[in-house]
């Protein structure tokens, strides 16, 4: 019965996305959550995971790093008068949505990329 439930759960997860509810330690989950809490949290999470290099927190550290750099890019775009302000303003709301999605994935122990840019973050930061 347990095997059938696990197979059904694994089939419901799209390819490239993982649910780690069984193999994630509480420390790994905490590191993943901390990575989404400002730049300082990202640095703390990176240092905490540096020796162990666990897959789950590493994945979320990469996603959080991508979100942080996207926010930096939006800040630079926001320096351009009028059009830059508009793009930056709208981008901040999109970034907030992505940040919430990433944080919720970490809380729920899902290893899923954030919408729109998450796959690019995986590609760009694969060596971290």
Give this prediction's pTM.
0.77
Element (H, E) at 128: none
Residues in the chain: 128
pLDDT value for 100: 95
**Whose structure tokens read 């290099």?**
53
Report pLDDT digits (tens) over 88-111. 999 999 999 999 999 999 999 999
């Amino acid at each position: 019965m347990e095997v059938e439930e696990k197979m059904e759960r694994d089939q419901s997860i799209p390819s490239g996305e993982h649910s780690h509810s069984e193999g994630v330690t509480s420390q790994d989950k905490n590191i993943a959550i901390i990575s989404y809490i400002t730049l300082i949290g990202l640095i703390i999470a990176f240092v905490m995971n540096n020796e162990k290099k666990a897959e789950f927190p590493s994945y979320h550290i990469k996603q959080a790093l991508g979100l942080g750099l996207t926010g930096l890019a939006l800040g630079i775009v926001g320096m351009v008068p009028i059009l830059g302000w508009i793009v930056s303003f709208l981008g901040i709301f999109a970034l907030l949505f992505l940040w919430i999605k990433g944080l919720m994935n970490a809380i729920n122990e899902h290893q899923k990329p954030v919408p729109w840019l998450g796959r690019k973050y995986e590609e760009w930061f694969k060596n971290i």
